[in-house]
């Protein structure tokens, strides 16, 4: 059943080639619906992206993107995966249409479409910084937002699929205030491709960079090693308060995603307490820091939605229970405020969405 959506798309492509028939918008919309219920499954995301790209190729870029936008409006559950889908669409569209793919007012899904354009550009060029940073400014009336720059990090990683080179590329960003967002994007891309990475990156390599890069790097580099048995006080040892706090957030994120680190967990993970119980020692180490407990509540909601409500009482004690529940409520409020995915310019963030 998992492969059914992709088989539908492949059949449609074969039919088009044999009959020399173009896909009109109505047909493309039916293909989108046939992809099934919105989920974090890779085959679902690929199905929606490929259906949209077929519509772009046989109509216009604007018409194909409008089709995708309409589909988003009618399927608010796509919030959990729309960034990745929009990224795929932007990437494929740039490879085929180059600068013609750059159309404005498509910032929904946390700038996913533009992140894909950055990656497409980086594949054909030695550096993405000037191109992407300039586009980020144009998208927001000469301002630059973290959510846009974050995607530069994705592109910097995908050029050589080398996290160290990607972090070096981030260091070229002219405004140091955004270097961390870029570095965070590098490591997120690295973690998302963990099973296929040929050039491995050790979280300790983060510390071989300037502080701005370390801050962005450490959050998304420690969480994949949490399930290897390391405790928080073994991973997060830096005396710098900012770096330590970012490491703690990364640890909590890893603990919340401990059974699905290399997959798309958001909102689609199945809660299995017997699996989580394996990380008793890691939970105990997180329990020693209320900031870790709060971050765990935040990220566990994003992974398991309302099912996560039992986790705070199960794995935390004393003040950490209240902090965990605080983070849980924070995330649930944030997600409920982003029901309309066309206005969802950024992901819910621990540092911005408290008491929203």
Q: Residue 122: phi, psi to the nearest 5?
A: -65, -30
Nearest to 53 by CA among 79, 38, 80, 31: 31
Q: Rounded to an integer, what distance in angstroms lies between the CA atom of residue 334 and that of residue 245? A: 22
- pTM comes to 0.81
Q: What is the DSSP string of 147-201?
A: HHHHHHHHHHHHHHT-HHHHHHHHTT-SSGGGHHHHHHHHHHHHHHTTTT-SS--
Query: Quick one: average pLDDT of 292-315?
Result: 89
> Distance between CA atoms of 327 and 333, rounded to whole angstroms?
10
pLDDT for the residue 315? 95
Three-class SS of 80-131: HCHHHHHHHHHHHHHHHHHHHHCCCCCCHHHHHHHHHHHHHHHHHCCCCHHH
Give CA–CA dist 42/25, Å, rounded: 24
- Torsion angle of C-alpha atoms 29, 267, 261, 47, degrees rounded to 10: -10
Contact partners, residue 301, CB within 8 Å, separation at least 6: 308, 327, 328, 331, 332, 335
Percent share of the chain, pLDDT over 90 = 44
Task: Examine the pLDDT at 14 and tell me if it is beyond 70.
Answer: no
Segment 79-128, tens digit of pLDDT:
767 888 999 999 999 999 999 999 988 888 888 999 999 999 998 888 88
CA atoms of 315 and 106, how far apart (whole Å) = 41
pLDDT for residue 295: 93
pLDDT digits (tens, 9 = 90+) for 262-286: 344 555 567 888 888 999 999 999 9
pLDDT in the model for residue 264: 43
- For residues 6 and 308, the model is more confident at 308
Taking only the tens place, the pLDDT of each residue in 217-258 is 998 888 778 878 889 999 998 889 999 999 999 999 888 876
pLDDT in tens, 334-346: 766 555 555 555 5
């Amino acid at each position: 059943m998992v492969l059914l959506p992709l088989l539908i798309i492949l059949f449609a492509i074969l039919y088009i080639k044999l009959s020399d028939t173009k896909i009109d918008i109505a047909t493309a919309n039916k293909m989108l619906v046939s992809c099934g219920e919105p989920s974090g499954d890779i085959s679902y995301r690929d199905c929606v992206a490929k259906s949209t790209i077929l519509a772009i190729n046989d109509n216009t870029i604007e018409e194909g993107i409008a089709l995708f936008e309409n589909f988003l409006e009618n399927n608010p559950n796509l919030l959990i995966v729309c960034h990745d889908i929009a990224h795929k669409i932007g990437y494929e569209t740039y490879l085929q249409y180059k600068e013609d793919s750059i159309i404005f007012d498509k910032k929904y899904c946390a700038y996913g479409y533009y992140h894909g354009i950055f990656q497409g550009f980086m594949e054909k060029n030695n550096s993405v910084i000037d191109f992407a940073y300039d586009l980020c400014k144009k998208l927001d009336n000469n301002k630059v937002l973290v959510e846009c720059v974050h995607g530069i990090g994705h592109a910097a990683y995908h050029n050589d699929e080398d996290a160290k080179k990607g972090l070096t590329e981030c260091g070229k960003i002219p405004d140091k205030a955004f270097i961390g967002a870029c570095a965070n994007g590098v490591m997120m891309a690295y973690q998302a491709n963990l099973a296929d990475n040929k050039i491995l990156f050790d979280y300790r390599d983060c510390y071989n960079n300037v502080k701005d890069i370390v801050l962005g790097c450490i959050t998304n580099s420690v969480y994949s090693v949490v399930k290897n048995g390391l405790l928080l006080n073994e991973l997060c040892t830096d005396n710098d308060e900012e770096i330590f706090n970012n490491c703690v957030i990364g640890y909590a994120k890893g603990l919340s995603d401990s059974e699905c680190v290399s997959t798309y967990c958001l909102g689609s993970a199945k809660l299995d307490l017997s699996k989580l119980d394996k990380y008793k020692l890691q939970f105990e180490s997180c329990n020693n820091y209320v900031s870790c407990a709060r971050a765990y509540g935040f990220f566990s909601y994003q992974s398991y939605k309302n099912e996560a409500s039992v986790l705070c009482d199960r794995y935390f004690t004393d003040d950490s229970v209240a902090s965990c529940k605080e983070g849980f409520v924070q995330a649930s409020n944030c997600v409920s405020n982003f029901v309309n995915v066309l206005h969802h310019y950024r992901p819910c963030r621990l540092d911005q969405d408290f008491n929203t």
